[in-house]
C-alpha cells in the first residue's frame, strides 16, 4: 500500500460510530446476528422503501441479487464493459456468461441502443438472458427509465449494481429500487462504509427472506437440528459492522451534502479549464440527483491526463484512472462485446477520478486544481 497525503475516498467515522460499536460489544452480540443488524436493515429499508438484507460484501450482494432474479448456469447476463470487476465476477459465480455492452458517450453508462442490439442478437441465437445488469457509476445513475422499458419489453429481469449509488435519486426514487433486485456496497471507499459490507435490496419480501436464508448457509430448523436442502453461503454481515453501518447511515444526509459541496467547489476551481475545453466533468442525466461519490473528469488528450495524474501523485495526492473496461481484461477477453466505437476505452484513456473524501478541505481542493492546471 502506498501512502498519500490526500486519499481518493477515505472512510470517515460518523459521530456515533464508537458509541454504537461499544454497545454492540457490551451487548454480547459479536456475531452475524444481533440488534444492530436489525436496526441497520431497518434504516436501509426506511431509506429505500424496500426490504434490505445486510451482507458481508457488495459482491456477495450482487451474487445473491442475480441468483434471486433467477439467473442460472448457462444463461447470459448483459452488463456494461465499463465497470469494476466485481460486477463481472458475480455473474461468473453462477456459471452464467457475461455479455458486455459499451458505454454511451453522453452519460458513460451502458448504452441503451447497444443493450437492445445485444438482447435481440442473443434471443436470435436462442440464448436465455438471465438478467440485465446496469451499473450506476461514481454517484450518478444509468438511464433506468429506458433500461427498465427494455427489460419489460423483452421479459428480462433487471438487477441493479448500485454499489456506487447509495443516496442517488432518479426524480424522487432512490437507486436500487428500480430492478427486481439490487446490490449496495459499504466497502471502505464507498459513500458510507462498514469497513467492508453490502446489502441486498428487493421490493419482494419473499425474495428477501430467501436471500437471508441463502446468506446464512441455507439452514432450516427441524427437530432441533439444521436441515439443508440447498447449497448456502456464509454471507451475513456481523452485528459489530452493522453498528458502524447504523452510525454511517444516520449520517448519510451529511455525507451527501458534503459530496455536493466538494463537487461544486471543484467545478468552480476548474471553470477556466472547462471553458477552454481541456476538461469535461462526468455528465449527469437531467432526472438524476447525483451524490458525486467520486469526482470524475475527462481530459481533452490522454497525455494531459497522464501529466495531471503524475503531478498529483508526485505531490502526494491519490488519484485514479477510470475503470479499465472489462473487454480489455485478460479474464474477460472471450466475452461478446456490443459496441460501435468503443467509448469505454476512450473514457479509460482520458478519464481521472479526483480525491472526494468527506474531510477534504477547500485548501486541499485548491491545491489539486492548481496541480491540474499546471499539468495542462
Ligand X SMILES: *Cc1c(COP(=O)(O)O)cnc(C)c1O
Which residue has 484513456 as its cell numbers? 349
**183/360 with CB nearer ligand X:** 183
Residues whose CB is less than 8 angstroms from the CB of residue 254 and which lie 6 or more positions away in sequence, other chains included: 14
Residues that bind ligand X (CB under 6 A): 57-59, 83-84, 86-87, 135, 161, 163-164, 185, 187, 198
Q: Which one, of 55, 101, 97, lies nearest residue 72 by Cα?
A: 97
**80/130 with CB nearer ligand X:** 80
Distance in angstroms (rounded) separating the CA atoms of residues 100 and 83: 10
Q: Which residue's Cβ has the minimum distance to ligand X?
A: 58
* Least distance from ligand X to the Cβ atom of residue 163, Å: 3
* Least distance from ligand X to the Cβ atom of residue 275, Å: 31
Distance in angstroms (rounded) separating the CA atoms of residues 170 and 144: 8
* Least distance from ligand X to the Cβ atom of residue 161, Å: 5
Q: Which one, of 139, 164, 169, 141, lies nearest residue 62 by Cα?
A: 164
Distance in angstroms (rounded) separating the CA atoms of residues 202 and 216: 18
* Least distance from ligand X to the Cβ atom of residue 259, Å: 15
Element (H, E) at 168: none
**163/208 with CB nearer ligand X:** 163
- The Cβ-side half-sphere exposure at 221, using a 13 Å CA radius, reads 1
**55/372 with CB nearer ligand X:** 55
**110/360 with CB nearer ligand X:** 110
Neighbouring C-beta atoms of residue 15, cutoff 10 Å: 11
* Least distance from ligand X to the Cβ atom of residue 301, Å: 27
* Least distance from ligand X to the Cβ atom of residue 55, Å: 9
**296/372 with CB nearer ligand X:** 296
- Cα-to-chain-centroid distance, residue 333: 23
Amino acid at each position: 500500500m502506498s501512502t498519500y497525503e490526500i486519499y481518493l475516498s477515505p472512510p470517515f467515522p460518523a459521530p456515533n460510530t464508537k458509541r454504537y460499536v461499544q454497545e454492540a460489544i457490551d451487548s454480547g452480540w459479536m456475531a452475524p446476528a444481533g440488534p444492530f443488524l436489525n436496526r441497520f436493515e431497518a434504516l436501509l429499508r426506511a431509506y429505500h422503501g424496500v426490504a434490505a438484507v445486510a451482507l458481508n460484501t457488495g459482491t456477495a450482494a450482487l451474487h445473491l441479487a442475480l441468483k434471486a432474479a433467477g439467473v442460472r448456469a448457462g444463461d447470459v447476463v448483459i452488463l456494461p464493459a465499463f465497470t469494476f470487476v466485481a460486477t463481472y465476477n458475480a455473474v461468473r459465480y453462477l456459471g452464467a456468461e457475461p455479455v458486455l455492452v459499451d458505454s454511451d458517450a453522453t452519460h458513460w453508462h451502458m448504452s441503451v441502443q447497444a443493450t437492445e442490439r445485444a438482447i435481440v442478437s442473443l434471443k436470435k441465437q436462442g440464448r436465455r438472458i438471465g438478467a440485465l445488469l446496469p451499473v450506476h457509476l461514481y454517484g450518478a445513475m444509468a438511464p433506468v427509465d429506458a433500461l427498465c422499458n427494455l427489460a419489460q419489453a423483452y421479459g428480462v429481469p433487471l438487477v441493479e449494481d448500485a454499489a456506487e449509488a447509495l443516496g442517488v435519486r432518479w426524480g424522487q426514487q432512490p437507486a436500487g429500487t428500480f430492478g427486481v433486485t439490487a446490490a449496495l456496497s459499504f466497502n471502505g471507499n464507498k459513500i458510507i462504509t462498514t469497513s467492508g459490507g453490502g446489502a441486498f435490496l428487493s421490493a419482494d419480501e419473499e425474495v428477501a427472506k430467501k436471500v437471508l436464508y441463502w446468506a446464512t448457509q441455507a439452514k432450516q430448523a427441524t427437530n432441533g437440528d439444521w436441515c439443508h436442502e440447498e447449497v448456502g453461503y456464509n454471507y451475513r454481515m456481523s452485528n459489530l459492522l452493522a453498528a458502524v453501518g447504523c452510525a454511517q447511515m444516520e449520517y448519510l444526509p451529511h455525507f451527501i451534502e458534503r459530496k455536493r459541496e466538494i463537487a461544486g467547489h471543484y467545478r468552480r476551481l476548474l471553470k477556466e479549464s472547462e471553458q477552454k475545453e481541456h476538461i469535461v466533468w462526468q455528465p449527469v442525466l437531467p432526472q438524476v440527483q447525483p451524490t458525486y461519490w467520486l469526482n470524475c473528469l475527462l481530459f481533452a488528450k490522454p497525455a494531459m491526463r497522464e501529466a495531471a495524474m503524475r503531478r498529483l501523485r508526485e505531490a502526494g495526492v491519490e488519484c485514479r484512472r477510470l475503470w479499465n473496461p472489462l473487454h480489455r481484461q485478460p479474464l474477460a477477453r472471450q466475452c461478446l462485446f456490443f459496441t460501435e466505437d468503443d467509448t469505454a476505452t476512450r473514457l479509460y484513456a482520458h478519464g481521472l477520478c479526483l480525491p472526494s473524501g468527506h474531510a477534504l478541505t477547500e485548501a486541499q481542493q485548491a491545491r489539486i486544481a492548481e496541480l491540474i492546471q499546471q499539468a495542462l
